[in-house]
Amino acid sequence: MIRELRVTKIATRMNPKWNGQFSCFDLVAKTDERPRSVVRVGDIEIGGNDFVVMAGPCAVESESQLLQTAVAVADAGARILRGGAYKPRSSPYSFQGLGVEGLKILRKAREETGLAIITEVMSEEDVEVIAEYTDIMQVGTRSMENYALLEALGRCGRPVLLKRGMTATLEELLRSAQVVAMAGNPRIILCERGIRTFETATRNTLDIAAVPVLKTVSHLPVIVDPSHAAGIRSLVPTLSRAAVVVGADGLLVEVHPCPEQALSDGDQSLSFGEFRCMMADLQPYLDLQHPDLQQNEQQFRPQLLAVGGAD
């Protein structure tokens, strides 16, 4: 828990409005000394100059479903395989995940493809067992303020992907990140996955501005989950392109061998072909962002971040 407010010296280019709002989260706030942090998973660098794509099914359903998906997403350029073994479902009657069986399948997929693994942890009691199998611990939108879980993750020694709560402000997201960091784990990746608004045409509303705001006020890497934001497969490539353009460090995307038959989130899952096309379509936008193409690296993302927002 946050026992005292720590006020830190923040980056000079920060919009003054955000200065007081975020600077108390000193372990995650951006400062001139710490403008950006990179979370390393094996040879993958999240928050560095690579755009890291994490892809796979919503839930691990079977060995063949996951292995087929792992091969397909790796072929298309994903570096990390996602798949839920413990599923937080809106209905108690829906598929709840395969549990440890699912973790074993994820481990097998890692052995066969070399992909790193990300999977969700819902309860503090599961932290130890899930940490044995996975490379990144995912905190879902419904758990963002589960402080017992966040503190246990602070002690677990694995990187944490912290999803924004569906009704959480960015300040609340960073407060939760600070809890993980204060409990001893600085390896945190933030994830914008859409928030609840009055709009009903999409499952959630992708708060695209969250990316440049978070990247301005925090040194942590920020990725976008376009699948849960949209809820509709056809919107996922467009939202992914938006994520690249606003300076996200990567994506978390749902992909399934046969989305129509998925046990969860089929409507928002891409087929293998759709995922391959999306990855190819993103390339020109990624090339435009790449620092090698800039004459002066300082002009790359910092240029975007320096905008700082209007009052």
Q: How far apart are CA 203 and CA 235, in angstroms?
A: 11
Residues that bind ligand PEP (CB under 6 A): 58, 84, 88, 140-141, 163, 193, 225, 228
Residue nearest to ligand PEP (CB): 140
CB under 5 to 8 A by kind: which of Mn ion, ligand PEP, none does 88 bind?
ligand PEP
Shortest CB 70 distance to Mn ion, Å: 17
Q: What is the residue whose two structure tokens read 């969700």?
A: 120
Q: How far apart are CA 272 and CA 162, in angstroms?
A: 26
Phi, psi of 31 (to 5 degrees): -130, 170
Nearest 5°: the CA angle 301, 304, 310 is 150
Shortest CB 282 distance to Mn ion, Å: 21
Q: What is the amino acid identity at position 95? A: F
Q: x-or-dash pattern for Mn ion, window 26-65, by CB under 5 A?
A: --------------------------------x-------
Using the rule CB under 5 A, is 265 a contact of Mn ion? yes
Q: How far apart are CA 257 and CA 270, in angstroms?
A: 8
Shortest CB 102 distance to ligand PEP, Å: 12
Q: How far apart are CA 25 and CA 113, in angstroms?
A: 38
The DSSP letter of residue 49 is S
CB under 5 to 8 A by kind: which of ligand PEP, Mn ion, none does 163 bind?
ligand PEP
Shortest CB 193 distance to ligand PEP, Å: 4
Shortest CB 82 distance to Mn ion, Å: 9
Instruction: Report the residue number, 77 or 266, with the smaller CB distance to Mn ion.
Output: 266
CB under 5 to 8 A by kind: which of ligand PEP, Mn ion, none does 259 bind?
none
From start to end of 103-238, where are the E strands? Answer: 116-120, 136-139, 160-163, 188-192, 222-224
Q: What is the residue whose two structure tokens read 């479902």?
A: 89
Give residues in contact with Mn ion (CB under 5 A).
58, 265
